[in-house]
Each structure stands twice: as C-alpha cells, then as structure tokens.
Amino acid sequence: MNRSTYKHMILLIFVFGIMFLLACGGKAAENEPDAPVEENAVPAVVSVEITTEPFVTPAPLIHDEWYADRNEALIKYVRAYGSAQTENDVLKQVSAMAIDPDKKRVAFTFDDGPRDELTDAVLDICEEYNVRVTFFIKGSYIAGHEAQLKRMLGLGCEIGNHTWDHVDIETLTPEEMRQQIESVNQQIESLLDYHIQLFRPPYIRYGKNDPAVRDALKEIMERNGMAVVNHTRSSHDTYDNYTEDMIYERCVAPYDEESAHGLHNAIILCHDKTMRTVNAFRRAVPELQAQGFQFVTVSELLYCSADGFHPGWIYSKAD
C-alpha cells in the first residue's frame, strides 16, 4: 500500500466515524482548516476491518494535509510503542487524540530530560488523563532512557531538541552549534525513526541581540526542517524558592503579567527535574481540562495558529 493510498484510508476511517455518529443522531461541529506530530522499523500497514462499534470520536476534523500526516504518524508510533493490543485499539487511541479546533488549546513542555522516575511520572499523568506534551531532550541523556523516549511517542507526545550538552549556543561557532543540534536529531532518527521538528535553545539564548548567531541558527533550522520555539509562560519551577503551590498557580493562572499572554495557545515551560513540578502538573491537568482546555503538542499548536508552522522561524511566542 503506497503512502497516498494509506493517507486516503486514514481519512476515510475518520470520515466513516463522523457519518456513523450523524446517522445515530449525533452532531459534529463545523470543520475549520488550519492545525504536528510525528523509532525503529515498525510493522507494515495492515488493512482494518470496520466493526459495528465505531472507533472514531465525534471530535471535529481539521481537513488539511498536515493533519492526515499527523494521524498517520500517530498511528505509526502508537502501534510501535503504545500499549494497544489490536489494530482497532490503536485507532481508538489515535482518535481520542483528535484536535477540536473550537476548543481552547494549551501546550506544556518539559526541558532537560529524559530522566528516570521524574519523566516516568510525567508520562503516567499523560496516560491517566489522555494528554500530550512536548519534551525538549538533551542528547547526552538519550542513552539509557530509550524506554522513556519510546513511551513518549507511544502516548502521542512530541520530542524536541535541547542540544546535546545543554550549552549556550551564543558561545559556539556556527559549526559547533550545528553539531550540538544535528547530533540529537541523528541519534533520535536512528533510534526511533522520528524526525524532530522543534528546537528550544538552552537559557532561551538564540541570538536575539546577535544577528550572526541568529542567522546561523535560522540556517540550521531551515536545513533540518525545524523551527525555534521558546515559551509564552514559565512555571518558574527552576527557582529554589518556588513551592509546588506556586508552580501550580503559574500553570493555571488565566493571565500572565510577565508575558502579557493568556492560557489559550500558551506554551508553558516546565522541567522534568523535580517532584514539585510533577505534583503541580498532576493538579493542573484536571483543572485545565475542567476549564475546557485540550492539551496539544507544540507543533500542533503552531499548525493550528494563524501563522502556522514554518521551518527556519523563531517563535518567541505562540501567536
């Protein structure tokens, strides 16, 4: 089955679910164009027999080529690294990750991992509440944490690049900068057959006041099909004096005075480095879900935005 046929099969599966629900009296919301996703070799694509019980949720669809690619990638990684036992279960899990363009969106990010218990704890929360986040990883932490990386993709999360050694790229030559970034991409590509789309510079230093650094970084991004993403709100979880309660409040506050940005389309900076952050995240997830927020990856948030996703761009904010 070629790639084009497979994409059409995915779209037909989603359309079938909507038609089934409408026939039963359900009502799907209007579609809206706009809204990324992306391990070892995975099993070949197999035909799926439609059962009498639909495995597609009634969430509105975003009819765009990137969304078909997103669904295809999610199926690939959920099948390879998720807990689903059957192909029908794979499709059920992916359909539960549908993006509703009419709902508020928030993207949580976790830098400086992966680690053992802490990253596992964040992933446990993602699995329990069916939410997806973006992990900006250090290349030097890849070895020994393969299980966490696979689980990230199996749960529909996104992996981003945070350099190999967590270095300030403004102190590097263009060649050193390229090696720090591309070495992470190459390792993840080899290990997981996964293309990293996002780069977050350590210390949020990306040449803002140095055109030479900025130009070198943009060239690396364009060559690798990537974009630089910072954040719209910090949880301040690296501050020693910040308690779990303070981190939690930063994550759920309707408006952030520091960045002059609300929660809708916010990119929230966290770190999977302390249990304070994990506990605050565990409290924030159900609270924000109760407020109508859906948790998306950063790439998805960018694709859903008015500007969209563009390799070579530097997103200092989400909008």
Instruction: Write the pLDDT tens digit of every residue in 227-247.
Output: 999 999 999 999 999 999 999
β pairing state of 261-262 and 255-256: antiparallel
76 sits in which H/E element: helix 65-81
pLDDT range class, residue 307, cuts 50, 70, 90: confident
**Phi and psi, residue 257, nearest 5°:** -65, -35
**31-55: average pLDDT:** 35
Structure confidence at residue 45 (pLDDT): 33
**204-209: average pLDDT:** 94
CB burial string 304-316: b at 16+ within 10 A, e below: bbeeebeebbbbe
Q: What is the DSSP string of 125-168?
A: HHHHHT---EEEE-GGGSTT-HHHHHHHHHTT-EEEE--SS---
125 vs 123: CA distance, rounded Å: 5
217 vs 208: CA distance, rounded Å: 11
235 vs 136: CA distance, rounded Å: 15
> Domain limits of the chain?
3-95, 104-315
Structure confidence at residue 317 (pLDDT): 65
Structure confidence at residue 27 (pLDDT): 33
**165-177: average pLDDT:** 98
Could you tell me which CATH class the domain 104-315 is placed in?
Answer: alpha beta
Q: Does the pLDDT of residue 222 top 90, yes or no? A: yes
What mean pLDDT value characterizes the chain?
Answer: 85
* Chain segment 242-267, per-residue pLDDT in tens: 999 999 999 999 999 988 999 999 99
Higher pLDDT, 5 or 279: 279
Q: Does the pLDDT of residue 279 top 80, yes or no? A: yes
Structure confidence at residue 306 (pLDDT): 85
**93-108: average pLDDT:** 95
CB distance 232 to 317 below 8 Å:
yes
Share of the chain above pLDDT 70, in %: 79
From the list 97, 82, 86, the residue with the least C-alpha distance to 36 is: 97
